[in-house]
Structure 1
Amino acid sequence: MQTQIANKEIYSQLIKSAEYIGQLAEQEVLIAEQNCTISKNVVNAIIEAGINRLIIPKEYGYPQIDFPTFSDLIKKIGYYNLSAAWVTYFYALHNAWVALLPKHRMDEIYAHGGLLTDIFAPVGRLEETEGGVILNGKWNFVSGIKYSDWVAVGALRFTPDSDMPLHFLLALKVEDVEIVEDWDSLGLRGSGSHTIIVKDLFVPSDMLIDLSEVTVNRKPKNLEISEDYLYFNKPYFPAFFIGFPSMAVGAAERIVDEFVQRAKNRIRFDGTNEGQSPSSQRVAGELKMKLKAVQSLLHDYVEMLAEDAGQYDNAEYNMIRVHIIKECVEIAVRATSSIGASGLKRGSVLEVMTRDLITISTHITSLYEDGISNFGKFMFDVPNNSRG
């Protein structure tokens, strides 16, 4: 049974705020493309709507939303602008790793009120020292870092209990890292996904999160907040990745609407309306069919999370997510290539969203071949090691 947010007024207000954020980002798309980041206007809209606080545990006075609400919210922003959906999703989501820290660290970070970002790639180098570790490293693609106050970075760490290094996150203040403004990409240009460098930084032990433990136990070993927190007792990474297919489907919905509207308004050389063309009608029908399929798969993904008590393998989530994103890319490419050169205008909905969706498909969590291969292994009882 799908969990629904109890307060319908909260849901309605969140969707209204999401629409405003998305529309504002769409209006500023050319500026964001040029500056390689969404504007402070969009960031302020996220903060004013309180969306960045949604995944904070209810003990801190914020509404405990559910997965359907979170998915719908990100999908709504994605309908207008994917870069804004990307950073809004992350600014809310990243409160989930704070909830894995000791309570006094939760108190510190949540009370600070700053935006959070992260980069899970375990490329950091750790040196054990009294009371913590010395951290060095360079991490690429840290989305939204320029507006953030806290960042979590990944590293591998050997522990006495394991022969293999374990994946840890380390929570840092952004003021302690160097930001290299090098984000200049094909798509998601507004995400501001710059590089950060850390040199010889002491990180206390209580700012380290053992992701390996959370993956196995589905919650911290020493529970210090309510057990019904959204990101406890669920498969952590499939839940963490919920925004990627959500924003992709939102964009696909907009692309289909845009294609139909453009076809209605386009006149062919022979004077006939494009909407009366059998070829455009066939393309529209195929796009809508693909859209319905990915909408249904996204609904399944969210339903699975809501009811998951350990019965679903991570590889199944992985398979659904990568298939959704692949199909959304195909919707975008087909619509753009079928509508004609007008769809290629710099900054137009089809041009920006096609590039953005292709970029989403290159994210490590969205790689189609990996996701399908993992699920195939699962089907034949072969270890797949998918995180979801």
Structure 2
Amino acid sequence: MPNPVLDAVEATAEEISAQGSANESRGKLSDAAAKLLRDTGAIRMLQPKTHGGLEAHPREFAETVMRIAGLDGSTGWVAGIVGVHPWEMAMADPKVQQEIWGEDNDTWIASPYAPMGQLRPVDGGYIFNGRWQFSSGTDHCDWIFLGGFLTDAEGEQLQPPQSVHVILPRADYEIVEDSWDVVGLCGTGSKDIVVADAFVPDYRVIPFSKVIDGQAPEEAGLENPTYHVPFSCVFPLGITSAVIGIAEGALAHHMAYQKSRVQITGTKVRDDPYVLSAISEAAAEIHAARSALLENACRNYDTVAAGRAVSFAERAVGRRTQVHAAWRAVSAVDEIVARSGGNAMRMDNPLQRFWRDAHMGLAHAIHVPGSVFHASALTELGIDPPPGPMRSMI
């Protein structure tokens, strides 16, 4: 299917790639990189058409994120993270959508969703406090989604816990400078966020339960199947697409470097059947990871487009596929790097940056296999749904 955003990415591919080292040295996307990403329209792919968005198929979004990440890991990561936020904003109160996109439909929204804040009720809304880590691309965003828990009027957390997503304008939170000092994805600028006694009106709060169970898009009257794909399928999609794209970028840089490389034994790489076999196997693994993730996205979309909800068991298997795809791709990158020679690890060779970025991306909580694999196995044994926290993010 046609993908004009992907076409725009291809038209500026060399420019996006050229910003990689600048992003890393700045610890955030350079202004030039952010403008290039903004101009492609990638962040508006899942945005509602009522506010200038494309309401794209999740597969198109994933393919675009992969390509951007293959050019520069940090730019692709921001595309995958920030690009998902308009999807949820489509479910928010029209009043806050107008506040964000009314004057500029290219306004970006940051996160994280981790429930690290406390939301205390007051007249007309809430008072919000908390601190969060890992707000990717936040320097280029003017609004933010932040996760939190509701409390009573005295500030005691409600039981059972009630998780919410809170929407704040840039004036209501602080970005903590020098809070992003990491080994990989340095250019994402995933800094800490602090909120201190911010007033949040009622209409800027979304119960997470309504997002995770699909009630939010129904109440918002959204018709496009993209918005009825479960949150636990859409949110990981952007992140894992970036990781697989980074793996594809590592492979591309490896192949470019190996074309003329002569090993210490005097053998040219193109004449070494053992290295060539390993490279081919790694390339096949990365391609398989890509195919699995895209097929997963299509299956979820087709299910809701047919008018059927994605069951817990289907979501669990889908999450297993997504997590395994990330691990599969990064393992393949390790095989590539192990056969690249010591010079590939010099800081002027982009391959080492892609290698570091891949491992940093794999460390995201959405890629932890334990509970996801456990839950998936239990559902296939007829225990559906499984007990307790294994249901989290599935």
**Structure 1 length-normalised TM:** 0.90
Quick one: which of 20, 23, 31 aligns to 1:40? Answer: 31
Q: 1:56/1:288 Cα in 2 relative to 1: closer, same or farther (>3 Å)?
A: closer
Give me the whole-angstrom Cα distance separating, in 2, the residues matched to 1:277 and 1:68: 37
Q: Which aligned segments of 4 or more residues in structure 1 are displaced greater than 6 angstroms?
A: none
Structure 1 contact 14–51 (Cα < 8 Å) conserved: yes
Quick one: which of 185, 205, 210 aligns to 2:207? Answer: 210
Equivalent position SS for 1:69: helix
Structure 1 contact 116–151 (Cα < 8 Å) conserved: yes
User: Is 1:134 the equivalent of 2:127?
Assistant: yes
Partner of 2:76: 85
Letter in 2 for 1:127: R
Superposition pairs of residues 1-388 of structure 1, within 5 angstroms:
4=1, 8=2, 11=3, 13-20=4-11, 23-113=14-104, 114-157=107-150, 163-181=159-177, 182-220=179-217, 222-223=219-220, 225-228=221-224, 230-231=226-227, 233-308=228-303, 309-312=308-311, 313=313, 314-380=315-381, 381=383, 382-383=386-387, 384-388=390-394
Residue-by-residue CA offset, 1:255-302 (whole Å, 9 max, x unaligned): 333333333311133433111112212211221231232122123212
Residue-by-residue CA offset, 1:195-231 (whole Å, 9 max, x unaligned): 11111111011100011122123434632x4322622
Moved more, 68-77 or 286-295: 286-295
Q: 1:83/1:307 Cα in 2 relative to 1: closer, same or farther (>3 Å)?
A: same
Structure 2 contact 143–168 (Cα < 8 Å) conserved: yes
Q: 1:322/1:351 Cα in 2 relative to 1: closer, same or farther (>3 Å)?
A: same
Q: 1:374/1:291 Cα in 2 relative to 1: closer, same or farther (>3 Å)?
A: same
Give me the whole-angstrom Cα distance separating, in 2, the residues matched to 1:23 and 1:364: 31
Structure 2 contact 180–191 (Cα < 8 Å) conserved: yes
Q: 1:292/1:32 Cα in 2 relative to 1: closer, same or farther (>3 Å)?
A: closer
Q: 1:67/1:106 Cα in 2 relative to 1: closer, same or farther (>3 Å)?
A: same
Offset at residue 22 of structure 1 (A)? 5.0
Letter in 2 for 1:385: R
Offset at residue 185 of structure 1 (A)? 0.7
Equivalent position SS for 1:387: coil
Structure 1 contact 26–80 (Cα < 8 Å) conserved: yes
Give me the whole-angstrom Cα distance separating, in 1, the residues matched to 2:214 and 2:54: 25
Report how many residues are paired: 376
Give 5+ residue unaligned stretches, structure 2: 153-157
Offset at residue 108 of structure 1 (A)? 1.9
Structure 1 contact 374–386 (Cα < 8 Å) conserved: no
Offset at residue 21 of structure 1 (A)? 5.4
Q: 1:349/1:218 Cα in 2 relative to 1: closer, same or farther (>3 Å)?
A: farther
Equivalent position SS for 1:151: strand
Equivalent position SS for 2:197: strand
Moved more, 240-249 or 368-377: 368-377
Moved more, 81-90 or 312-321: 312-321
Give me the whole-angstrom Cα distance separating, in 2, the residues matched to 1:21 and 1:117: 24
Letter in 2 for 1:240: F
Letter in 2 for 1:367: V
Offset at residue 33 of structure 1 (A)? 1.4
Structure 1 contact 22–78 (Cα < 8 Å) conserved: no
Offset at residue 167 of structure 1 (A)? 1.2
Give 5+ residue unaligned stretches, structure 1: none
Letter in 1 for 2:126: V
Output the aligned Cα RMSD: 2.1
Offset at residue 150 of structure 1 (A)? 0.2
Equivalent position SS for 2:129: strand
Offset at residue 124 of structure 1 (A)? 0.3
Give me the whole-angstrom Cα distance separating, in 2, the residues matched to 1:88 and 1:234: 19
Q: 1:131/1:299 Cα in 2 relative to 1: closer, same or farther (>3 Å)?
A: same
Structure 1 contact 23–81 (Cα < 8 Å) conserved: no
Q: 1:148/1:61 Cα in 2 relative to 1: closer, same or farther (>3 Å)?
A: closer
Aligned-residue identity in percent: 23
Offset at residue 158 of structure 1 (A)? 5.4
Offset at residue 20 of structure 1 (A)? 4.9
Structure 1 contact 287–331 (Cα < 8 Å) conserved: yes
**Structure 2 length-normalised TM:** 0.89
Q: 1:83/1:61 Cα in 2 relative to 1: closer, same or farther (>3 Å)?
A: closer
Give me the whole-angstrom Cα distance separating, in 2, the residues matched to 1:83 and 1:100: 28
Equivalent position SS for 2:184: coil
